[in-house]
Structure 1
Amino acid sequence: MLLRFRVTNHASLRQEQELSLIAERPRDGRVERAVPRGDHQAVAVAGIFGPNASGKSNVINAMVWMRAAVAHSFAHWAPSGGVPRRPFALDRDAGVPSTFVVDVVIDGVAYEYGFSCDDREFTEEWLYSYPEGRRRKLFERTAGEPPEFGRSLTGGVRTMARLTRPNSLFLSVAAAQNHDLLGRIHHWFDRCFRSATDHDLADRLRFTADHYLSGAAAGEPIMQLLRYADFGIGELMLAEAELELEAEHRLLERALRQAMGERAVRVESDPTDRVRLEHRTEEGSFVLGLAEESSGTRTWAGLLGPVFFTLAHGTLLCVDELDARLHPNLTDALVGLFQSPDVNVNGAQLVFSTHEPALLGHNTRTELGRDQIWLTEKGADGATALFPLSDFQVRDSSENKEKRYLVGRYGAVPFFDERILESIVAALRGGSGDGTTTEGAGPGREEVA
């Protein structure tokens, strides 16, 4: 489980910002998991709220970027390609490193893993464990110096260090060399951390279709989740021609792996072309292609596989703009799957960004505690500040958090400059923009109702 995530100098996140899933205090009615060898509980849900361009999506993006660096830096980044980071752009000093850190629990042990990088290389990387509640160094790496290894970390790590390029992570190299312990840390990033953004919809649709159509145990629950949204859909299927094409792709993938190894490029088709949804009405059954469905249906279909996988395995799902193209009640219901102890029996976690203030109100099926609500706003320097609602004196049970949020009591809401609006109205009336009317402006001189 994820305990904390910290990031510095990524996109609008200029100074260090921290997202914590540590509960402020235990609370009945929601999923919480005990932190090993500690007195704390970790929550299952954290929502990030804020106005447009406040940086809430950048928090999700920073988490996804860290995952990508761990998963791909050794296997897929070009040796001379540097580090494709996204530093804060409104800073004259482009050489400031970017830093990413997670505190996670894996197999009952807490770990802190992090790294810093500039445009050329990883300048630092470290991993600590807390098996007895006290920090134990596993490794520390600084650019230009040999790595330092703790006494408990064995298994050819010095040989692996020689294989590590300046722009690859040692953790990625060790996992590729099948190191047992480091491979488990890598596995958390690669397999136990999924994301849902606008950029990976096709991958999510493919993931959903593959799991449903494989005949595995996930098939029926995925179908039930599709029906749960009440879109009038009775079945998910592949077009017959696409089934044959899918089989050809499998054969081609197998041949490529035999010839080139496991790193061969995957042969993929566009899931929006092959997936079909059956609608059952009083007039009978009708099959539509995914491209013919509403954007809300496509969004929900793309979430089904990741949502079920995360709930089934007790892993982490990060969703950017959870409310986009979904009804507020459906967004509320989705959050409720993770918040409910009756449903989320494996302790899965959901981190999401949203514009939807209704999730803060009393009329939701799923009430978020103040330690689960995070806010973003930008300062005069264009940098994002991330802070929890627990920074304010708010009573979870009686406070109308939605109303207070919308009127700006917690910040993190848009600011509307009424002087700009007056200038726009003057222009619409044919004025000069300074509140005066220009002669001869024709119909624009008339009063606007």
Structure 2
Amino acid sequence: MVASAYLKEWEDRNTFQAETRQGKGLRLLRTAALYGPNAAGKSTLVQALAFMQGQVVNSARESQQDDPIEVTPFKLTAESRAADSEFSAIFIEQGVRYEYGFRCNTLRFTEEWLYAYPLGRPQKWFHRVLDPQTLQDAYDFSPSFQGGRQRQVWAVETRANALFLSRCMQSNNEQLKPVFQWFSQRLRVIATPNALGSDYTARRCEDVADRTKVLEFLNAADLSIDGIRLESRPFSSDMLPDHLPEVMRQELMSSFKGKEFMELKFQRKDASTGEMVEFEEHEESDGTRALLAFAGPWLDVLENHRVLVVDELDSSLHPLVVRHLVSLLQHAGTQAQLLFTTHDTTLLSQKLLRRDQVWFIEKNAEREARLYPLSEFSPRENEAIERGYLNGRYGGIPNLQELDFYGG
């Protein structure tokens, strides 16, 4: 998400200057779009971010001593099936750049590290490495990482299947809090948009001002909704899908017993009488429900400068609505960021994305996913990017084969 130093188009709209403790820092992109054929690895990239976030937030808090780590290695070579998986992220939080990462297998974390740049130069705060001989973790702490003897206590108390960062936050470590908060609060990952419900949007609508914002958000996409009404409803078994296994149904009924749920009612005026007519959420189109589900999270991202990662943003949404969502974020004037996967190539021809905001992913001869930017091809400023992509100039498209079903 670092903006190219060579591209100047739409700089004020599509990029922002990251503030650091040393003043103006890197110029960052507000959005980045990722294109590629089905099964190329787009969703895996999003799932990897979600996995990393989940381990940071929950590994020390929720896992038990012998619980497996739910990580899946690359399976198409014998070497990778037996190897550890590595995850790393570079980000800025509260004016400081951090580089954090870890390696793991299904049994344990085998390496973990954190570098910080509070003064512009890297400081190695900690490095944890598994000793293959003793099967014990060795820790290297720098003087920049505060805590004295307490650091060793935290290290001893960190289980093999838990992250040291996650364990430190159980003791409310102030120095590591910005790193933890970037994963727990700044980053928002929507790996399955079709499963995204409207619960968060409905909760926001309990506030009258937020309800107005949600209504404006929906109508900006030309949905012609005149009002939203909330109705509180106690949980009942008919809220659960019919195909749910009986054991799971009983567990959910026990968990939600006595709880209240907010339901949204959409109001539209009768064209002849002006009377308000109500529609249930299930009576709305897939696109309207999808946009409703996005409304609350999207407003939250804009207001709180979060980093939103969405797989298949165009799922159930009209191309113009997708453009509208991206434009909202790019014109917001916030430091919010959006990374999304999509098959909607019309975005490439609408003067919406800079050349450094477009990425592709495809599989190589070993069927490994390779992620690369459009800028590798040095496209001209007025180049027809959509046409070039669909014609295979940049790769990242399916290799389709003819099928002869009738033997002719």
TM-score in terms of structure 1 length:
0.78
Shift of 1:86: 1.8
- Return the alpha-carbon distance in structure 1 between the equivalents of residues 90 and 173 of structure 2: 20
SS state at 1:74 partner: helix
How far 1:277 sits from its partner (Å)?
2.2
- Say if 1:207 and 1:200 are closer, same or farther in 2 by CA, change over 3 A: farther
Change over 3 Å in CA distance of 1:86–1:277 after alignment to 2 = farther
CA distance in structure 1 between the aligned counterparts of 2:95 and 2:123, rounded to whole angstroms = 15
Indicate yes or no: 2:199 matched with 1:206. yes
Give the aligned residue type for 1:391: E
1:302-313 alignment runs, 5 A limit: 302-313=293-304
Task: Trace 1:307-326 onto structure 2 (pairs within 5 A).
Answer: 307-326=298-317
Q: CA-to-partner distance for each residue in 1:405-438, whole Å, 9 max, x for gaps?
A: 11111111111223xx2x22xx2xxxxx3x4xxx
1:119 equivalent in structure 2: 106
Identity fraction in percent: 32
| 3-state SS, counterpart of residue 305 of structure 1 | helix
One-letter amino acid matched to 1:138: W
Which of residues 84, 94, 97 is equivalent to 1:97?
84
**Cα distance 1:281–1:54, how it changes in 2: closer, same or farther (>3 A)?**
farther
What's 2:4 paired with?
23
Q: Which amino acid aligns with 1:198?
A: T
What amino acid is aligned across from residue 339 of structure 2 in structure 1? V
Distance 1:409 1:338, change over 3 A: same
Q: Which of 382, 407, 429 is the equivalent residue of 2:367?
A: 382
TM-score, scaled relative to structure 2: 0.85
Distance 1:65 1:350 in 2: 18
Note the 1:214-233 alignment, pairs <5 A.
214-215=207-208, 218-233=210-225
Distance 1:372 1:319 in 2: 15
Quickly say closer, same or farther: Cα 1:69–1:199, change in 2 above 3 A: farther
Against the structure 1 CA distance between its residues 197 and 335, is the aligned structure 2 distance closer, same or farther, given a 3 Å change threshold? same
In structure 2, the residue corresponding to 1:408 is in which secondary structure?
Answer: coil
| Distance in 2, Cα, partners of 1:245 & 1:390 | 52
- Change in Cα spacing, 1:227 to 1:178, as seen in structure 2 (3 Å) is same
Matched, 1:54 2:44: no
The 3 A distance-change label for structure 1 pair 371 and 199 is closer
Cα deviation, 1:347-397, whole Å, max 9, x if unaligned, reads: 100000000000000xx2x5211111000111232221110000002023x
SS in 2 for 1:411: coil
Partner of 1:236: 228
Q: How many residues align?
A: 375
Q: Determine the C-alpha separation between the residues in 2 that align with 1:123 and 1:268.
A: 44
- Corresponding residue to 2:333 among 345, 353, 364: 345
1:112 maps to a residue whose letter is E
Task: Answer yes or no: is the 8 Å Cα contact 1:211–1:219 preserved in 2.
Answer: yes
Question: Structure 1 residue 221: deviation in Å?
Answer: 1.7
Moved >6 Å (runs of 4+): 265-271
Q: Which letter does structure 2 place at the counterpart of 1:192? A: R
Contact 2:211 / 2:228 at 8 angstroms: preserved in 1? no
Contact 1:31–1:347 (8 Å) recurs in 2: no
Q: Which residue number corresponds to residue 126 of structure 2?
A: 139
Residue identity in the other structure for 1:180? E
8 Å contact from structure 1 (residues 111, 128) kept in 2 = yes
Indicate if the aligned counterparts of 1:213 and 1:237 stay in contact, CA closer than 8 A. Answer: no
Amino acid aligned to 1:293? E
Answer yes or no: is the 8 Å Cα contact 1:70–1:172 preserved in 2.
yes
> CA deviation digits over 1:158-209, x for unaligned, max 9?
222222111111111112221112122111111111122326844x522211
* Amino acid across the alignment from 2:392: G
CA distance in 2, matches of 1:291, 1:76: 35
Deviation at 1:39, TM superposition (A): 6.3
Q: State the Cα RMSD in Å.
A: 2.4
- From the superposition, tell whether residues 382 and 218 of structure 1 become closer, same or farther in structure 2 (CA, over 3 Å): same
Residue equivalent to 2:321: 330
Cα deviation 1:219-254 (Å, max 9, x = unaligned): 3222211221221222333334x1x669xxxxxxxx
Q: 1:392 and 2:407 equivalent?
A: no
Kindly provide the CA deviation profile for residues 6-33 of structure 1, in whole angstroms up to 9, marking residues without a partner as x.
Answer: xxxxxxxxxxxxxx43434353342423
Partner of 1:172: 166
2:165–2:180 CA contact under 8 A, matched in 1:
yes
Structure 1 residue runs without a partner (length 5+): 1-19, 247-264, 428-432, 436-449
Residues 219 and 164 (structure 1), Cα distance of their counterparts in 2 relative to 1, 3 Å cut: farther
Letter in 2 for 1:74: A
Equivalent residues of 2:14, 2:354 under 8 A apart: no
Partner AA of 1:85 in structure 2? V
- CA distance in 1 between partners of 2:193 and 2:342 (Å): 17
Q: Aligned to 1:87, what secondary structure does the other structure show? A: coil
1:45 counterpart = 2:28: no
CA contact (8 A) 1:50 1:56 kept: yes
2:267 maps to 1:286: no
User: CA shift at 1:79, angstroms?
Assistant: 2.5
Candidates 247, 263, 266, aligned match of 1:274: 263
CA contact (8 A) 1:318 1:352 kept: yes
Shift of 1:153: 1.7
Whole-angstrom distance in 2 between the partners of 1:280 and 1:228: 18
Task: Write the letter of the residue equivalent to 1:207.
Answer: Y
Contact 1:64–1:195 (8 Å) recurs in 2: yes
Read off the aligned partner of 2:264 and give its amino acid letter: V
Q: Which residue of 1 aligns with 2:133?
A: none
